[in-house]
Structure formats: structure tokens, C-alpha cells
């Protein structure tokens, strides 16, 4: 027990590294107009395809270089983070609310409720998620709210399946039986005895889902189905960078690194939070 605890302490840099990156990216996104060195939309054909700062020909003030229209890459990444984070939070919370509620009901009540919800989940998961997302956005129309809605509609099953399994195990526990003997109602027991025990999993999934939402948003903007304004998005920058990979690799590489770091941080942060939240593991 003690050894395991010490090992977990040692692992907790994971929490700080992941949380640190997320906080940095989040703050940069929130205060984008203040921190971004340039206007992300300002085009200047005199400055096109400037390399990042450590290469010959770099201009001061354009740290990560510019794209083929002379727009500052760092500024575009920072502003792109705004959309990425808005989508991450809103979509993950939407998916979490729907999925966790249905999962809890299915797992705890069992019987018909479980059969119906589980069948819906099965059918839902038979759709390839990315195609489903593209289809949904095509139907709902492009725009921030449709992207959020699409991710929520697709990914609630992830919460539902995990929370259902956990609630099922919980409902067989003696303390649930004890609460029934004491005369508590079913919904009361679900909220009072079962829910607190699945919260660590919900937290971990929520963080994981935020990472997934970032990816899905990037995919949608990569195929130009995210938001239709001129605002930069990570997926959009990647799509542009792909076209000029031979002349300016940095336009592709930096947004990719940003995307990977963010998604990785979300999943690691979630795992670390789970251990923090769980009274038995803590």
C-alpha cells in the first residue's frame, strides 16, 4: 500500500506537466488579443513563408514563421486555441451530461431501461464516428454550435458505456442493499450511494473527451466543415500547411505539435485527476 502510494506520488509530475500545458494554452487562448504578437488575419505578401526564429531569414516578431499569405503562425495558433477550447469544453460537457445520466440509469435500474439504452448505444456505435460527424454537420450546417452539437450527439455513448458498467457493479454492493433496507428510494440511492463512486470515472472521461473533441474539431476544420468564418482553427491551419509542406514545413508541423500536446495532456490530466478523486486510491 505504502509503496504504491509513493509510486503514485512520483507519477504526479504527469499531472503538473499536463495541467501546466493545458493552463498555458487556455490562458493564451483567453487572452489571445493581448498575447498574440501579430494580427492573425493580417496578410502581407512581403513576409510570406518566413521560417521560425532559429533559421536564416527569420523576422523578429514572427517567432514560428508565417504561412504562404504572410500571416503569423504563432498568432494563428493562439487564436485557433480559442475555438479548440470552446469546442472541447462545451462538447465534452454535453456528451458527459447525456451519456452519464443514461449510463447511470441503465446500470443501476437494469431491466427494461438497460435493455433499451444499451440497444440505442449499440446502434449508435455502429456508425463510423468521423463520417457521422461530417454527416451531422452537413445536415445541421457549419458553425460553432453545430460542431459542438455534433460531437455531443456522437460521443455520449462513450460515457454511457463506461458509467453503465460501473453503476452495474455498484448496484450489487452491500451498501446499496443496506440503503434499500433503510427505506431509501431507488433514485435517492442512485444519487447518494452510486453516483459518488462513479464520479472519478466521469472526471477522467470528461478530460479524455475534451481531447477527443479537439481532434474531431480539427478533423472537421481540416475538411472545411467546422466554422465558416475566417477565424483560424488548428485543423484549418494544418490543411493549409499540407499544401505548402515542401516550401514551409513549419506551417504543418507546429499546429500538429500543438494539437498532439493538447490532446495528450487532456488524457493524461484525466487519468491523474481520477486517482486524485478516488478516495481508495488517494
Partner 1 sequence: MSACLDIRDLSAVLPNGQRVLRSVSLSVQPGEVRALVGESGAGKTMIGKAVLGVLPSSVRIVEGNMKLEGEDLGKLQPKARRTLIGARTALIPQDPLTALNPSRRIGPQMTDRLVRILGWGGEKADTRIRQLLDEVQIRDPDRVLKSYPHELSGGMRQRVLIAAAFAAEPRLIVADEPTTALDVTVQKQILRLIAELQREHGTAILFVTHDLGVVAKISQKVSVLYAGKVVEEADTAALFAAPEHPYTRALMAATPRYTDPFASLMPVDETVLAGLAAEIAAADQAWRRPHG
Binding site for partner 1 (CB under 8 A): 173-175, 177-178, 180-184, 192-193, 196-197, 199, 278-280
Long-range contacts at 227-233 (CB < 8 A, ≥ 24 apart): 227/83, 227/142, 227/143, 227/144, 227/147, 228/142, 228/143, 230/41, 231/79, 231/80, 231/82, 231/83, 232/40, 232/41, 232/71, 232/76, 232/77, 232/79, 232/80, 233/80, 233/83, 233/84
Shortest Cβ 92–partner 1 spacing (Å): 23
Shortest Cβ 187–partner 1 spacing (Å): 14
For partner 1, give the closer residue by CB, 44 or 278. Answer: 278
For partner 1, give the closer residue by CB, 180 or 242. Answer: 180
Shortest Cβ 176–partner 1 spacing (Å): 8
Shortest Cβ 105–partner 1 spacing (Å): 17
For partner 1, give the closer residue by CB, 192 or 242. Answer: 192
110, 167, 178, 187, 240 from 171: Cα distances, Å: 9, 6, 11, 12, 51
Angstrom distance (rounded) from CA 160 to CA 246: 44
Shortest Cβ 192–partner 1 spacing (Å): 8
For partner 1, give the closer residue by CB, 16 or 175. Answer: 175
For partner 1, give the closer residue by CB, 191 or 239. Answer: 191
Amino acid at each position: 500500500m505504502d509503496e504504491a502510494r509513493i509510486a503514485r506520488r512520483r507519477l504526479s509530475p504527469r499531472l503538473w506537466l499536463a495541467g501546466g500545458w493545458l493552463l498555458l494554452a487556455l490562458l493564451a487562448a483567453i487572452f489571445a488579443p493581448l498575447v498574440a504578437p501579430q494580427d492573425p488575419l493580417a496578410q502581407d505578401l512581403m513576409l510570406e513563408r518566413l521560417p521560425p526564429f532559429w533559421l536564416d531569414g527569420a523576422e523578429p516578431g514572427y517567432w514560428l514563421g508565417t504561412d504562404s499569405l504572410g500571416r503569423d503562425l504563432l498568432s494563428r495558433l493562439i487564436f485557433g486555441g480559442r475555438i479548440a477550447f470552446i469546442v472541447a469544453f462545451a462538447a465534452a460537457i454535453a456528451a458527459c451530461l447525456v451519456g452519464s445520466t443514461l449510463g447511470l440509469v441503465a446500470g443501476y435500474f437494469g431491466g427494461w431501461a438497460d435493455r433499451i439504452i444499451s440497444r440505442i448505444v449499440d446502434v449508435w456505435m455502429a456508425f463510423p464516428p468521423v463520417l457521422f460527424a461530417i454527416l451531422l454537420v452537413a445536415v445541421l450546417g457549419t458553425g460553432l454550435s453545430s460542431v459542438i452539437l455534433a460531437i455531443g450527439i456522437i460521443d455520449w455513448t462513450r460515457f454511457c458505456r463506461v458509467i453503465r458498467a460501473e453503476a452495474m457493479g455498484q448496484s450489487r454492493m452491500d451498501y446499496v442493499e443496506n440503503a434499500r433496507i433503510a427505506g431509501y428510494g431507488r433514485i435517492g440511492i442512485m444519487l447518494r450511494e452510486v453516483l459518488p463512486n462513479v464520479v472519478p470515472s466521469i472526471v477522467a472521461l470528461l478530460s479524455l473527451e475534451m481531447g477527443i473533441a479537439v481532434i474531431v474539431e480539427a478533423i472537421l476544420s481540416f475538411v472545411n466543415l467546422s466554422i465558416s468564418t475566417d477565424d483560424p482553427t488548428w485543423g484549418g491551419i494544418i490543411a493549409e500547411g499540407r499544401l505548402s509542406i515542401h516550401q514551409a514545413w513549419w506551417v504543418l508541423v507546429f499546429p500538429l505539435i500543438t494539437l498532439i500536446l493538447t490532446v495528450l495532456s487532456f488524457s493524461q490530466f484525466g487519468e491523474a485527476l481520477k486517482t486524485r478523486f478516488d478516495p481508495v486510491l488517494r
